[in-house]
Every structure is written in structure tokens, then in C-alpha cells.
Chains A and B, each alone.
Chain A
Amino acid sequence: MREEIKKIRDLMESAEYVTDPAMATSVHLAMTLRKPLLIEGHAGVGKTEVAKVMSRMLGTRLIRLQCYEGLDAAQALYEWNYPKQILHIKLQEHSETSTPDKEHEIFSEPFLIRRPLLQAITPNGAPPVLLIDEIDRADEEFEAFLLEVLSDFQVTIPEIGTVKATEPPYVILTSNRNRELSDALRRRCLYLWVDYPGFDKEVRIVTRKVAGVNERLARQISRFMETLRTVRLAKLPGVAETLDWAQALSSLHADHLDEELVLETLGCVLKDPDDIKRVRKELAASGMKRFVAAEG
């Protein structure tokens, strides 16, 4: 294994992030090839964490752009500070300044609000990590716009001119696959699919992240989650749910799982009434054995 990749893995582990070779390789290549990394996976598998850990590793700033439906360039790139502009015009009402001068004045740097994308292109110091979170929530139009920015890290502000990054930022995009992303965007990025963790990895995550959970409980929790994800549910629980649950069990001072305890705390894991009903039914029918068979 390449030294750098090992180092990334160690750094991620020391930042309390349980990783695997696939993730470490992708992060390494994203940094050496300077290409954006697109991370896809179900909700709650720790996609966003990768960017946080990466910025900690590089010792640079993390700039986050949270996407949502209707997000546009004004919110992502830059916006003029309209209240400030209006006040300025008001104050200058009786001055002799000519209109073109006034205009020039209010459309200059001090009146510019830098949104995440512009911040990432024009950082103070080292290139930051730009996290574009849940890109699948933004509209197709925004995606096209983003593609343009990501291809040359250069934007044109009509009133000021063209701004270009001296050194491009490290870019991480995440998607929950609520919408299919365009091929153009996909091809621009490295790709990493993050699945639910396997049994061993989940045990490691639980013991690392939640204090007061013994090995046996951690194994039972992970086995239960592993089985649960094979049940036909409307919303499969992610790692975030596993950790919530482990936290809850730990504060109840539980040292192993039993049916009663599971029924009491099922709300930590399942967030859909139909799913809860379904699992209750299965538990009533076949008991705990079905869920934690291998762990006894």
C-alpha cells in the first residue's frame, strides 16, 4: 500500500473516523489529481464526515455549501449587499457625484457578499476544502452552473471582472441519490460509493464512537442492524441511527440486547410508523433469534 494512502487512513482513524481502503484511496487521488470527489450513498453513512476529516488533515478551512431546491447563483456564488447599497444611495442623495460614479461605487468590493463558491475560489491563504453537500437536492440548472465553476474555477462578476482561483480548492460533493445527477458532472469527478458498513466495520464504529458500550453489546447492535437492513423497510437505518441507538442503550446502562429493550428503544433506529409496526411483528413472530442469531 502506498505510504500516502496509509497516512490518510491513519489520519482519518485518529480523527475518530473509521475508514476503509476504498475511501482512503479516493481521498488520496482526489488530492493528488486535484479532481472533485463525488461521494454517493444512503443517508447517514458518513459522507459529509469525509470533507471534515480532509480539511483537518490538510489543516485548511472547510467551506460548506448546503444545497436545496431553488438554490441559485446568488446564494451560492455572490450577492450584492442591497440594504447597504440603498443606504449608501440615500446618504449620497444630495452629493454632486455623477450617476456612473455612484454606480461604480456601490458595485465594488465593499458591497459584495461572498457566498461559499466565491469564498472557495478566493481564499485567504491555502486552498480550502469545499464541501458541496447534497447536490442532488439542487435543480438541474444549478448543477449545470456548478459544472462551469468546477471546470475552471473562474467566475465573472459583470461589475468587477473575472475572478480566478490561483490554486483550485479541494472539492467534495455528496449525494443521497434523490435525483439522478448529470453524466457531465459525474465525469468531472472521482467517484466513491459508500455502502452501509459491514459487520466488523460497524462494530469498530460503535466501540470507537460511543463510550460505555462493551464488545458484546456492540456486536449485538451491529448484528441487529445488519439483519434489519435486509428487512423490507421504507427507510433503512444508517450509521447515524446505529450510533443514536448505541448512545441510548449506553445511557440505559444496558450490557446486552433483549427483546424488551429493543421494543422500548426501536424509535432510535426506525423513523417510520409502518416500519416500526413491521419489525414489531417480526420480533413477535420469530423473536430476537432472527435478528442477532450469530451473536447469541
Chain B
Amino acid sequence: MPATAPARNLLTQTLAFGRMLRAAGVATTTSEVMDAVRALESIDLLDRDEVYLGLRTVLVTRKEEIPIFDRLFESFWKYRADEGQGLDGLIQNIEPPKPGDDTIHGSVESHAKKETQVALEGWEEQGEDAGEPLEVPGVSAQEVLMDQDFSTFPTEHLDEVARVTVLIAKRLARRLSRRRRPVRRGGVVDLRRSIRANLLKGEMIELRRRERRRRKIRLVLIADVSGSMDLYSRFLLLFLYALQNVFGRVETFTFATRLTRITEHLKGTTYKEALRQLAAVRDWSGGTRIGESLHEFNRSWGHLVDRRTIVIILSDGWDTGEPEELEHEMLVIKRKAGRMIWLNPLLGNPSYEPLTRGMAAALPLVDHFAAAHNLSSLRDLAGHLKLG
């Protein structure tokens, strides 16, 4: 066999494997695939474990991708019964599973969807933002909308309300951004510029300062999508989604009986698309397991929370699990987070009292407790999205 033939085969097969990984949601780049080929050249191709470990260290970039990688590796480099047959032999006869094959999740389809980015820009133009925002960023003609509970709007008006929500958020975003102006005093002395400025004087007369760099605040939203909470979660999501550029990062999770991370679904989609995605993750099995969902969050996603993170939980606190568990998990978050906000839309009802056991367990640990049941409460919420 000419020496180049297996090498080329290795290349094309590795490329095919890379494509499969991409289709399954592991965003492998071409240069990584080239590295994978180089890696294969410097390991023992007859040692299946070594091939596995070598490809894994090159192509996988985070722990969460390992299970997907394992599954695809298994199905791609199928182990032919004949022992002792090297990888060169193996790989020639293997067809990559077709996309749409049961073993592959994610799929090409969702990629195509991502291409169609229209994003939220459309809303801004329609907003006819005449100069400076008013004292109240709500438009007066729409003032009536502001205090009406989301659940009382007739279905055909919800689109309009959604539009106004985004509009308000956009204006607030502009204002929040402006608040982070550089400060003249304080900050740290910029010695480099000070030395230059005082080069001839031999004394440090004039100190130059520069702004102390601060990391943007991050948001983690954990929204209850069970039963009556679903609608409120949508509006909150819409609102925060439109505010996202103000923050360093917005991570979004939904839960009813189990936790789902939807951050990736929301990237680069229009808000309508995002809402549709939300509907898809909704689970109808009934009952809410907040404590368990928060436990799952802490276990798998706890690293997203730090001192510069605000954690927002939206739920009515109606937990079918043990309140001790909820309390424990809340405490774990509380210790790491900069701020913890609990939104309970039922609070908008004057006769409501937070009497559920879950709510009672969670309340003492919460920094801010509010309603988020109508537009004005969302607007007020923006004022609480800061630290210290």
C-alpha cells in the first residue's frame, strides 16, 4: 500500500468525524481537526484507548461534551470483530452515521435555524424613539397597559404587550449603560502615564488616573414554567433578553419538574423564536420541584455564579418537594451570588400572602422580593439589577 493512502484516509475519516461532532453540537473547528490528524500520527493507532484519549483531548473542550463525544466515538470508530486489525483497516469501511440517525441529537436543522438571525433590532425602529427618553420610559398612551396583570390580557393583545415590553427594556438598557461613565476621582493611579506627564519635573506633581476596571454584572435567570407561571416567565424572559447587552452574560434556565438550560437556544434568535423554544421545553407533567431543580443547578451549573452575578428566580414557590432541600440549595446559591432576587407574580394580587412552605423557606434568604406580574413591576425590577 502506498504510504500516502492511509494518511489520506486518516485525514478524510477524521474530517468526517469532525463534521459529525459539529452536527451533534460540539463546535469543532477545522484547525482542531487538523490537530487531531497530527495527534493520530503521534500515538499508537493499534491501541484503541489511546486513540480515544488522544482524539478526546484535542476535540473536546469542556466536560459536558464528553458524553456526546463518547457516543459518537463509539458509533464512528466501530470496533470490527477481527482483533488486531489496525485503525487504518478499520476506518476504510466505516460509513459515518447519516445525520438524522438516532444516535445524533442537536442536528443540522437547528443550525439552519440559527442562520436566520433577525434579532431584536426590528423592534427598535418601530419604537420611534424621539430623542431622550422621558422621565418614565413608558409611552403615555400605553400607560394603561403598565399596571395590568399579564394574565388578564386577551390572547390577541399579547403580541402588542410583548412589543411594549421590549421597547421599555431597550430604553432602560440605554440608560443603564450610560450610568457606567468613567469617574474622575477614585480609580487607580496610572503610573505609566504619570511618569510621562512628569518627565521633566523630576517629581510626581500631576497624577494621572485611570478607571478601575469592573467586570460587567452577570444574570442567571431560573424561571418556573409550570402551569400559571409560564406566561409570567415568558414576559420576564423577554424583558431580560432585551436588556442583555447591558450585562456581561445572561444565563437562562427553566424548570417545572426538572431543570433545562436554554441559554444556547436563545442565542441569535428573534424573541419570537425564543418564546417558541420556551414552549418546547415546557413540561406538562404537573407539579413543581424547585428544590430538586435548584440542586441540579448547583451541581451542574454552580460555576456560573459568583460575586458579580445576580440570580433571579421566578416562581410562586409551590414546591412538591421538601422545604429543607429548597432552603439548603438557596443557601448554596446565596453564599456565592452577589444578589438573589425572587419574583413571585402572585404578589401582584393584594390579597396574596406568601404562605406556601417553599416560599416561607426561601424568603429569609432573598435580597429582593417582588412581583413581576405587569409592565411597571418589570420596569421597577431594572432598578434592582445592580450590585452593592
C-alpha gap A85/B201 in the complex (Å): 12
Interface segment out of the listed A119-127, A181-189, A200-208: A181-189
Given A35-B35, A80-B195, do A2 and B60 touch, yes or no (CB 8 Å)? no
> How large, as a class, is the contact surface on chain A?
35 or more
Contacts of B213 in A (CB 8 A): 70, 72, 139, 141
Inter-subunit contact A90/B62 (CB<8 Å): no
Interface residue tally for chain B (C-beta within 8 Å) = 42
Partner of A191, one of B27, B62, B192, B248: B62
In the docked arrangement, what's the CA distance between A106 and B195, Å? 10
Q: In this complex, which of A33, A40, A274 has the most chain B Cβ atoms within 10 angstroms of its Cβ?
A: A33
B141 near A: Cβ within 8 Å? no
A5-B43, A139-B215, A177-B303 known; A186 vs B195 contact (CB < 8 Å): no
Query: Which residues does chain B contribute within 8 Å of A186, judged by CB atoms?
Result: 61-62
Please give, as numbers and ranges, the residues of chain A lying within 8 Å of B304 by CB-CB distance: 179-180
A-B contact count (CB 8 A): 112
Q: A193 to B199, alpha carbons, bound, how many Å?
A: 51
- A-contacting 9-mer, from B44-52, B118-126, B165-173, B224-232: B44-52
**Whole-angstrom CA separation of A51 from B331 in the bound complex:** 36
Contact indicator per residue, chain A 1-23, by CB within 8 Å of chain B (1) or not (0): 11011000000000000000110
Q: How far is the CA of A72 from the CA of B214 in the complex (A)?
A: 12
Q: Please state if B60 and A191 are interface contacts (CB–CB under 8 Å).
A: yes
B5 within 8 A of A: no
* Chain A residue with Cβ nearest B64: A193
Q: Does B286 contact A (CB under 8 A)?
A: no
- A189 interface neighbour in B53, B61, B199, B215, Cβ under 8 Å: B61
**B306 touches A (CB below 8 Å):** yes
B200-A99 in contact (CB<8A): yes
- Would you call A82 an interface residue if the criterion is a C-beta within 8 Å of the partner chain's C-beta atoms? yes
A21-B49, A99-B200, A140-B215 in contact; A29/B44 too (CB < 8 A)?
no
Question: Which residue from chain A places its CB closest to the CB of B212 in the assembled complex?
Answer: A70
Does B275 have its Cβ within 8 Å of any Cβ on chain A? no
Q: Is the interface of B mostly helix, strand, loop or mixed?
A: helix
Bound-state CA distance A176–B32 (Å) is 24
Given contacts A35-B35, A86-B204, A187-B29, contact A2 B215 (CB under 8 A): no
Q: Which of A22, A38, A99, A140 contacts B248 (CB 8 A)?
A: A140
Interface string of A133-169 (1 = CB under 8 A from B): 0001001110000000000000000000000000000
Encode contact with B along A188-215: 1 for CB under 8 Å, 0 otherwise: 0111110000000000000000000000
Answer yes or no: B66 CB below 8 A from chain A CBs: yes
Q: Which of B32, B44, B331, B335 has the most CB of A within 10 A?
A: B44
Question: Given known contacts A86-B195, A90-B202, A193-B63, is B303 in contact with A180 (CB within 8 Å)?
Answer: yes
Q: Give the contacts of B292-343 with A (CB-CB under 8 A).
A: 295, 303-304, 306, 328, 331-332, 335
With beta carbons under 8 angstroms apart, the residue of B192, B200, B306, B335 that contacts A179 is: B306
Does B57 touch A at the CB level, under 8 Å?
yes
Asked if A190 meets B57 with Cβ closer than 8 Å, knowing A33-B38, A139-B215, A140-B215, the reply is yes
* A-B contact list, 10 entries, CB within 8 Å: A25-B53, A28-B42, A33-B39, A89-B202, A178-B303, A187-B27, A191-B58, A192-B57, A193-B63, A193-B66
- Chain A positions within 8 Å of B, measured between CB atoms, are 1-2, 4-5, 21-22, 25-26, 28-29, 32-33, 35, 37-38, 40, 69-70, 72, 74, 80, 82, 85-86, 89-90, 93, 99, 102-103, 106, 136, 139-141, 176-180, 183, 186-187, 189-193, 232, 234, 274
Other than A86-B202, A99-B199, A99-B200, give 19 A-B pairs with Cβ distance below 8 A.
A4-B42, A5-B43, A5-B50, A22-B57, A26-B53, A33-B42, A33-B58, A35-B35, A70-B213, A74-B192, A89-B199, A176-B303, A180-B249, A186-B62, A187-B61, A191-B57, A191-B61, A193-B63, A234-B335
